[in-house]
Structure 1
Amino acid sequence: MKHLNKLFVAVLMAMGLNAQAQDSNNPWAISFGVNAVDTRTSSGSGSGFFDQHFSQPFAVKDNWNILPSLSYIGVTKYVGHGFSVGLQGSVNKIDKYVIFDPLNANADSRGNVVDNPGDLMYYGIDATIKYSFQELIKSKVVDPSLSVGGGYTFFGDSSFGTVNPGIGVTFWFTDAIGLELASRYKWAVAGDREDANDEPDAPSHFQHTAGLVFKFGGKDTDGDGVYDKDDACPDVAGLKQFNGCPDTDGDGIVDASDACPDVFGLAALNGCPDTDGDGIADKDDACPDVAGLAALKGCPDTDGDGVADKDDKCPTVAGPKENGGCPFLDADKDGVADKDDDCPTVAGPASNRGCPEVTTEVLDELKVQARAVYFNSGKATFKTGDKETLARLDAIKQILINYPTAKFSIEGHTDSDGSDKLNQKLSEDRAAAVKNALIERGVSADNLESKGFGESQPVASNKTAAGKAQNRRTEIRHIGSKYEGKL
């Protein structure tokens, strides 16, 4: 058993080599299984080399020595370009040793006799250089190989060196697990025998092996099944077809090259979508839902005037850009284009966006009309049956609608009869009543406000009936334009 210790020490040393960091895909492999030793070639019988060595290659029952247990273990390291180097240790027990003894009554037709030399242990330590044809034949399953190497065999108390040409084939079940079948011809060279008479001569022989092989040692940091050596994105899980890089949106463009990695897109647009199909990526398209022109950032131009519809105030009629895409239309001939004219049918200056300005004459007219609006005594309702009051309201409306940008204040006043509090409330309610009547007639509520002043601003004496009548009034005052401060 002293040689068995040598075997296991050598194998453990070889296995310890895999502790070093590697940078190639599964460069290490460990194999183990059973081996068979055939000593027929040592007998020297036969007419020529091939007849001597291959006359009975598969006479398993008659010639092969097989130990019915795990009897070999090996470690190999891939070094590139189909080549690998390895170390294998094996053990066996020889109970079928073929010798040439033609005078022996038990000799076969070739003069060979199968002898049992007794408890003859066999140990082998072999180094191998192997070349795999798997890449050459482009197979993922079948992996034929040739090998050459050398080793040292302990044959009982004898020991000798060997030169080992060999052949093998591995059938891979997965990328890393396979069934390995191999044969070596171990040609004996000079060795050491303690007693040539008691032990067989150093025999050349065949050794066959069958076992499982496991590849390991590859590094896959992101766990995506692509080893770091071949992974273009080793820290991020990805797909094999993209060399380990991810494609989050599944559009066939790796995230690193995808301008829109989270949205399914087109290769022509660097992975970005084009919802409206106008050839402009949505991220660059100012109108992503409507097909448009590249010159207008993907927006349409229906009238072809160079102004995008979204910015064109006249999208169906061509017009210059400086006119907002509209032709220069000025219905009221006031020099303000209709598109910019808040009063396109009434002439007015550009400073008031084409609307007429409120003149002193207009204000005087409003004063006359407003003071002729009469209320029921002590109430905020218009005087019953007073057609003149209704006519005055219509006249005021007609004036105000000509000034859509002007803002007016409707103000209510009372005489001194009654308490201040009552008069204040009454003046506010009457002003509000006029305001609401004008809104009902079509005047914009945004242009009107109302307030009451009670008896605080008389225009005549409250000591006479005539004076009180003048103090009970409503007035309309121009308070500005909604464009003030914006022009």
Structure 2
Amino acid sequence: MKHLSRFLAASLLVLGLSTANAQDENNPWAVSIGVNAVDIFPTGGDLPVQGEIFDEYFNANDHWNILPSVSKLSVGRYIGDGFSFTASGSVNKITKAGELPDGTNVGVDDLSYYAVDGRVSYSFKNLLSSSWLDPYLGVGGGYTWVDEIGAGTFNGSLGLNFWITENLAFNVQSTYKHVFEDYAASNYPPTHFQHSAGLTFAFGGKDTDGDGIYDKDDECPEVPGLEEFNGCPDTDGDGITDAKDDCPDVAGTAEFNGCPDTDGDGVADPKDECPTVAGLAALNGCPDADGDGITDANDGCPNEAGPAENNGCPYQDKDGDGVLDKDDNCPDVVGTVANNGCPEVTEEVQETLNEYAAQILFDSGKSSIKKVSEDKLAEIIKILNEYPNAKFTVEGHTDSVGSEKLNQRLSDTRANSVKTYLVENGVDKFRLSAIGYGESRPIATNNTRAGRAKNRRVEINLVKE
């Protein structure tokens, strides 16, 4: 009788602990009842009656101690993210103590067995995406009495629920119970396996939003809704639930996911940038009178087709040279297509430039330009300004009289002197470069006075891209 009292106390403890436990989010509570079997042999323990780990694990006939009645009660509660806590109480009788090394089964007088255990388990049901197969692993601890001797245990469990319905499952479980070392010398209770089978009942569904539909069946469990929409609301009454309604506060049509189309252009108002004026779907419901692909509101010339890069207006050709202003490097000066709308420097112009350049005179042995050359320089500037995108090189040359080093220096300074004059009189400095070639590029013999005079010259030559 005292043992029965001990089991009842353990059961009360289980029920007390269950208030802190969990099962699943829709049915958080679970109660299991069933039978259990205690097996001492296949645990690899220190007793002579225990074999190696998992020896004869399924030998129920020789080693399992089973009561022919309900002998295990468990209560659990879902914690979250697949984890549950379960507390259980069990009762049994030990009549088979194991097997001696010579193979003799050891029988014992009926020893009472009581256990109370707690377990945290993780379900693999969601990982398997299964509605009925629910394997789990658990770890925990408890306290076990065999007759008058009790011991704490560390437990590891492997179990399987077969869900027959949403609320009813057939459960099988095997638990390894390791007795703490401090108790090993007393022999009982020894390290052992406890197997169990039974039925699990899940219950406790909630109705969070109070709409009369339990959360497990409510597609909108936190918002009151209608039964015909599985607990979801339809605020605007258009027959489309708010969760699927792109315009939940304004009645619309199913064609536009619950939104209206005020201007009837086939574009729902939330996506229509011009909801009161019929337009084109390709332009988000806005009109395009000239058909250039730019909405009238953004078109600088709404009645005249033009490209987007020119704000919807057609490109102009102000100088009439056949090159549109957008491509014309010289939009105000007539040019050629080949030269991107700018005038081209012809051979004739090049010759004229150098005729004038050859008449630029310097003070003897110096780079200072004589005043008499200003008229020729003015003509040169006039020509250069007619070709605003062309670049030129001012080249200085000397005869062979004097040292080569001196002639090189003199040609450099004279070329730069002419460049400076041109820049100071309005020619863009970035269009001009200057270089001296000394006596290295004669155009006549240096053996005659006339030849040397021709070699002392300045040239202005077009830089070809």
Q: How high is the TM-score relative to the length of structure 1? A: 0.47
Q: How high is the TM-score relative to the length of structure 2? A: 0.49
Larger radius of gyration: 1
